[in-house]
Amino acid sequence: MDFIHLQLRKATQNDIDFLLDLRTKTMNEHLESSGFPIDKDSHLKRIRYEFETAKIIMYRKEDIGLLKVKYGKDEIELIQLQIHPDFQGKGFGKHILEMIIEESLFSEIPIYLSVLKTNPAQKLYTRLGFITIEENEHSFTMKFSKYNFVKV
């Protein structure tokens, strides 16, 4: 895949309809199987959460996903990464994660994320070096750190 045409742009209120459609297509199955609501208001609440960090993922000028990352002094929080189903399995999510991992390694700041147990994205996170540090009934909290790779 030609990732040179991959861009991020700040999300605006004009993107809400795209983000609602994206969230419905990428998350309904996982939310429903975990017993979470999938109504429009629930989706909009999650879309608006940390909206100031929201970036629209674009490929060849077409909106294909959402990335929310919050950079703190001591941690990077991956809040949301969603790729439209038409573009899944083509390496876009992996490429974006690898860019964030590179930032983490350079700055020596760990990345944290939460993923539903029913979401197959957890397999990608594990392949890229994230480890599960906590879990509850519905989700895993995962962490990426340069120390994940230290061999004892």
Closest to 25 in 3D by CA, of 90, 85, 65, 92: 85
Over residues 51-83, the pLDDT tens digits come to: 999 999 999 999 999 999 999 999 999 999 999
Determine the average pLDDT of the residues in 24-29.
94
Angle 39-21-8 from CA coordinates, rounded to 5° = 130
Over residues 118-145, the pLDDT tens digits come to: 999 999 999 999 999 999 999 999 999 8
Is the predicted pLDDT of residue 111 greater than 70, yes or no? yes
Task: Note the pLDDT of residue 2.
Answer: 73
| Assigned token pair, 4 | 């040179």
Q: What is the 3-state secondary structure (H, E, C) of the chain?
A: CCHHHEEEEECCHHHHHHHHHHHHHHHHHHHHHCCCCCCHHHHHHHHHCCHHHEEEEEECCEEEEEEEEEECCCCEEEEEEEECHHHCCCCHHHHHHHHHHHHHHHHCCCEEEEEECCCCHHHHHHHCCCEEEEECCCEEEEEECHHHHCCC
Split at pLDDT 50, 70, 90, the class of 3 is confident
% of the chain with per-residue pLDDT over 90 = 87
Task: Note the pLDDT of residue 4.
Answer: 85
Task: Note the pLDDT of residue 67.
Answer: 98
| Assigned token pair, 127 | 């392949």
Split at pLDDT 50, 70, 90, the class of 152 is very low
Burial of 14 by CB count in 10 Å (0-12 exposed, 13-18 middle, 19+ buried)?
A: exposed
| Assigned token pair, 68 | 């929310």
Considering only the C-alpha atoms of the chain, give the largest distance between any 2 of them, rounded to a whole number of Å: 50
